[in-house]
Structure 1
Amino acid sequence: MSITPFQALACPLDGDPLTQEGSCWRCPAGHSFDVARQGYVHLLPVQKKKTLDPGDSKVMVAARQRFLNAGFYQPIAAAVNRTVLADAPEHAPLSCLDAGAGEGYYLRQLAAEPGLTQPLELIGLDISKWAVLAAAKQDRRVAWVVGTNANLPIQTASLDRILCLFGFPVYGEFARVLRHGGQLIQVDAGADHLRQLREIIYPTLKEPGTGDRELPPGFELAGTEPLRYELVLSTQDQITDLLAMTPHLYRAKAEGLEKAQALDSLTVTVDVVVRRFVRLGPFP
Structure 2
Amino acid sequence: MSVEPFETLACPLDGIPLYREGKSWRCENGHSFDIARQGYVHLLPVQKKRSKDPGDSKAMIAARQRFLESGFYQPIADAVTKATLDGTVEQSPIRCLDAGCGEGYYLRQLGSVAGGSALSLLGLDISKWAVLSGARQDCRPSWVVGSNANLPVVSGSLDRVLCLFGFPVYPEFARVLRPGGRLIQVDAGQDHLRELREIIYPEVRTESKKVSETPEGFRRVATEDVRFSLHLAGAEPIADLLAMTPHLYRASQEGRDRAAALESLSLTVDVCLHSFERESEASD
TM-score, structure 1 normalization: 0.98
Question: In structure 1, what is the equivalent of residue 235 of structure 2?
Answer: 236
Question: In structure 1, what is the equivalent of residue 129 of structure 2?
Answer: 130
**Deviations 1:225-261 (Å, cap 9, x if unpaired)?**
1010000000100000000000000000000000000
Runs (4 or more) in structure 1 with deviation over 4 Å come to none
Question: In structure 2, what is the equivalent of residue 81 of structure 1?
Answer: 81
Question: In structure 1, what is the equivalent of residue 210 of structure 2?
Answer: 211
Q: CA deviation at 1:208?
A: 4.7
Question: In structure 2, what is the equivalent of residue 9 of structure 1?
Answer: 9
Q: Give the Cα separation in 2 of the matches to 1:101 and 1:187.
A: 12
Q: Give the Cα separation in 2 of the matches to 1:278 and 1:208.
A: 26
Question: In structure 2, what is the equivalent of residue 96 of structure 1?
Answer: 96
Contact 1:91 1:117 in 2 (8 A): no
Q: Give the Cα separation in 1 of the matches to 2:152 and 2:93.
A: 21
**Deviations 1:158-198 (Å, cap 9, x if unpaired)?**
00000000000000000000000000000000000000000
Q: Structure 2 counterpart of 1:56, which letter? A: D
Q: CA deviation at 1:86?
A: 1.2
Question: In structure 1, what is the equivalent of residue 19 of structure 2?
Answer: 19
Contact 1:9 1:18 in 2 (8 A): yes
Q: 1:209 to 1:5 in 2, by over 3 A?
A: farther
- Paired residues for 1:166-181 under 5 Å: 166-181=165-180
Contact 1:179 1:282 in 2 (8 A): no
Q: Tell me, what secondary structure is at the counterpart of 1:150?
A: coil
Q: 1:205 to 1:111 in 2, by over 3 A?
A: same
Question: In structure 1, what is the equivalent of residue 56 of structure 2?
Answer: 56
Question: In structure 1, what is the equivalent of residue 163 of structure 2?
Answer: 164
Long gaps (5+) in structure 1: none
Q: Give the Cα separation in 2 of the matches to 1:146 and 1:209.
A: 30
Question: In structure 2, what is the equivalent of residue 225 of structure 1?
Answer: 224
Matched pairs, number: 283
Q: Give the Cα separation in 2 of the matches to 1:264 and 1:195.
A: 17
**Deviations 1:75-125 (Å, cap 9, x if unpaired)?**
000000110111111354211000000000000000112x33110000000
Question: In structure 2, what is the equivalent of residue 271 of structure 1?
Answer: 270
Q: Give the Cα separation in 1 of the matches to 2:10 and 2:111.
A: 24
Contact 2:4 2:93 in 1 (8 A): no
Q: CA deviation at 1:70?
A: 0.4
Question: In structure 1, what is the equivalent of residue 193 of structure 2?
Answer: 194
Q: Give the Cα separation in 1 of the matches to 2:141 and 2:175.
A: 21
Q: Percent same amino acid at aligned positions?
A: 63
Q: Tell me, what secondary structure is at the counterpart of 2:281?
A: coil
Contact 1:103 1:132 in 2 (8 A): yes
Question: In structure 2, what is the equivalent of residue 35 of structure 1?
Answer: 35
